[in-house]
Structure 1
Amino acid sequence: MASSVPGPLPLPDSRWDQSTFWGRVRHCAEISDPTMLLTTEDDLKNARRIVGAYRHGELKQTTPEFWRAKRELDSTVHPDTGETVLLPFRMSCCVLSNLVVTAGMLTPNMGTAGTLFWQWANQSLNVAVNSANANKSHSMSMSELATNYTAAVTASCGVALGLNKLVPRLKNIAPHTRLILGRLVPFAAVVSAGIVNVFLMRGNEIKKGISVFDAEDNEIGRSKRAAWLAVGETALSRVINATPVMVIPPLLLVKLQRGVLKGKSLPVQTIANLGIIAVTSFTVLPFALAVFPQRQAIHLGKLEPELRKKDDKEDKLVYFNRGM
C-alpha cells in the first residue's frame, strides 16, 4: 500500500470516504480491479516517487496522478513491508486466482478423489493469500506454516467428505431438496475451513499482538486485543465473500440445467458455470472487502492497560492494519 512509502506527512486513506460502507466499496473496487495486474516495476517506482513527494510536502495537493499512483501501490504493495505481493495472491487477482478452483469445487457429482483434490487446491490458495496479505508484525516459521496448512486442508477435506456421505442418507427429504443440499456441501466446507485457515495462519498475531499506530503513523506498541479484532474481522469477511460465490452459482446452475442448459454438452455447462461464478465473484468481492476497513481505528481505552498508560486520553483513536 501507499502507506509503506516513508514521509513526515500523513496520506489520505482514499479518495472515497472510508467511514462509510459505500466509500469503502468504491475503494475496494479500485484495489481489486484486475487491470491493476498490469502494473509494472517502473509504474511502482514512479508511484513511490509521486506518493513520496506528497508525504514530504513537495506535492501540495492531491491530483489525478497522485490517486493513480496511490491506487497502484494500494493494490500491489504490502502495507507493512513495502514489498510487492506476488501476483497470484494480490486482491486484484483474487477472482481470477479463485475462478478455476471454485468451479472445480462446485462440479456436480464429484467422487472422493475429486472432492479431496479441489478442497486441497482451495485451501492451498487460501493459505498463500492469507500469508501474503497478513499483518506482518510477526513472521511465521516454516514449521508453523506447514502445521497450519495441514490443519486447514484437513478441516476442509474432512467437512466436505463428511457432508458428502451424510446428505445421501437423509431419506426424509424430497429428492430436489437433497440435490440442493448436495450442491451446497462445498460452501459448508469452504466456510468452516476458511475460518480455521485465517485463525491458524495468523495465530502469531493473536499470541503476540500487532502494531498499533497513532494518527501520524508513529507506533505506540503492540496489542493482542487489536489482533483478535483484526483476525476475527478478516475471518468474517471470508465468510461474507464465500457465501454468495459458493451459494448463488450452484443454485442457479440447478435451475438452468432444468431449463436452457437441459441436454447441453458438458463443455457448454462448464462454460456457463464459469461465467456465473466469474460474474458473481467480480460483483461480490468489493462489497465483502468493504465490510470492515483495512486501516482499522479503535479507541485507546479498549486496548491493553500498558498501552493506555502511554496516553491518558482513552477516547483517542489509534490505528492498525487489519490485513486482508
Structure 2
Amino acid sequence: MASSVSGPIPLPESRYDLSTYWGRIRHCAEISDPTMLLTTQKDLDHARSIISAYRHGTLAKPTAEFWRAKKQLDSTVHPDTGETVLLPFRMSCCVISNLVVTVGMLTPGLGTAGTLFWQWANQSLNVAVNSANSNKSHRMSTQQLVSNYAAAVTASCGVALGLNNLVPKLKGIKPNTRLILGRLVPFAAVVTAGIVNVFLMRGNEIRKGISVYDSHGDEVGKSKKAAFFAVGETALSRVINATPIMVIPPLILVRLQKGLLKGKSMGVQTLGNLGLIAVTSFAVLPFALGVFPQRQAIHVNRLEPELQNKKDMKEKPITTVYFNRGI
C-alpha cells in the first residue's frame, strides 16, 4: 500500500469516503481491479516517487497521477513491509486465483477423492494469501505455518466429507431440498476452514499484539486488543466473502440444470458453472471486501492502559490510533 512510503505528511486514505460503506465499495473495486496486475516494477518505482513527493510537501495536493500511483501501490504492495506481494496472492488477482478452485469445489457429483483434492487446493491458496497479506508485526515460523496449514486442511476436508455423508441420510426432507443442501456442503467447509485458518495463521498477533500508529504513521506501540479486533473482523470477512460466491452460483446452477442446461454435456455444464462463478465473483467482491476497512481506526480508550497517554511528534495527545487489519 501507499502507506508503506514514509514521510511527515499523512496520506489521504482514499479518494472516497471510507467512513461509508459505499465509499469502501468503490475503494475496494479499485484495489481489486485486475488491470493492476499489469503494474511493472518501473511503475511501482514511479508511484513511490509521486507518493514520497506528496508526503514531503513537494506535491501540494492530490492529482490524477497521485491517485493512480496510490492505486498501484495499494493493490500491489504490502502496507507493513513495503514489499511487492507475489502476483497470485494480490487483491487484484483475488478473483482469478480463486476461480479455478471455486469451480472445482462447486462441481456437482464430486467423489471423496475430488472433494479432498479441491478442499486441499482451496486451503493451500488461502494459507498463501493469508501469509502474504497478513499484518507483519510478528513473523510466523515455518513450523507454525506448516502446523496451521495442516489444521486448516483437516478442518475443511473433515467438514466436507462429514456433511457429504450426512446429507443423503437426512430423513423427512424433499429430494430438491436434499439436492440444494448437497450443493451447499462446499460453502460450509470453506467457511469453517476459513475461520480456523485465520485464527491459526494469525494467532501470534493476538498473543503478542500488533503495531498501532498515530495519524503521522509513527508507531505508538503494540496492542493485543487491536489484534483481536483485526483477526476477528478478518475471520468474519471470510464468511461474508465466501457467502455470495459459494451460495449464489450453486443455487442458480440447480435451476439451470432443470431448464437451459438439462441434458447438456458435462463440459457445457462446467462452462456454465465457470461463467456463473466468474460473474458473481467480479460483481460482489467489492461489496464483500468493503464491509470492514483494512486500515482501522480505534480510540486509545479501547486499548491497553500503556497506550492511552502517548503523545505524537508534535507533543499532542494521541486519542486515536490506526492499524492494518490484514485480509
With the shorter chain as reference, the TM-score category is over 0.9
Q: Per-residue displacement from partner, 1:241-278 (whole Å, max 9, x unpaired)?
A: 10010000001000000000001111111111000000
* 1:319 correspondence with 2:322: yes
* 1:256 correspondence with 2:256: yes
Ranges in structure 1 where 5+ consecutive residues have no aligned partner: none
Match of 2:101 in 1: 101
Deviation at 1:314, TM superposition (A): 9.0
Amino acid at match of 1:183: R
- Mapped contact 1:31–1:75 kept (Cα < 8 A): yes
Match of 2:189 in 1: 189
SS, match of residue 296 in structure 1: strand
SS, match of residue 135 in structure 1: coil
- Mapped contact 1:54–1:61 kept (Cα < 8 A): yes
Q: Per-residue displacement from partner, 1:273-299 (whole Å, max 9, x unpaired)?
A: 000000111111111111111110011
* 1:228 correspondence with 2:217: no
Match of 1:32 in 2: 32
In structure 2, distance between residues paired with 1:216 and 1:8: 6
Aligned residue-pair number: 324
- Mapped contact 1:36–1:75 kept (Cα < 8 A): yes
RMSD: 1.3
Match of 2:44 in 1: 44
Match of 2:119 in 1: 119
In structure 1, distance between residues paired with 2:306 and 2:62: 38
Q: Per-residue displacement from partner, 1:121-174 (whole Å, max 9, x unpaired)?
A: 000000000110000000000000000000000000000000000000012111
Match of 2:22 in 1: 22
SS, match of residue 197 in structure 1: helix
In structure 1, distance between residues paired with 2:260 and 2:166: 31
TM superposition score normalised by structure 1:
0.98
- Mapped contact 1:37–1:87 kept (Cα < 8 A): yes
Amino-acid identity (%): 77
Deviation at 1:315, TM superposition (A): 8.6
Deviation at 1:6, TM superposition (A): 1.1
- Mapped contact 2:308–2:319 kept (Cα < 8 A): no
SS, match of residue 326 in structure 2: coil
Ranges in structure 2 where 5+ consecutive residues have no aligned partner: none
Match of 2:294 in 1: 294
Deviation at 1:189, TM superposition (A): 0.2
**Structure 1 segments of 4+ aligned residues over 6 angstroms from their partners:** none
Amino acid at match of 1:118: W
In structure 2, distance between residues paired with 1:188 and 1:117: 16
In structure 2, distance between residues paired with 1:77 and 1:164: 40
Amino acid at match of 2:83: E
Q: Per-residue displacement from partner, 1:92-122 (whole Å, max 9, x unpaired)?
A: 0000000010000001111100000000000
TM superposition score normalised by structure 2:
0.97
In structure 2, distance between residues paired with 1:103 and 1:123: 14
- Mapped contact 1:300–1:314 kept (Cα < 8 A): no
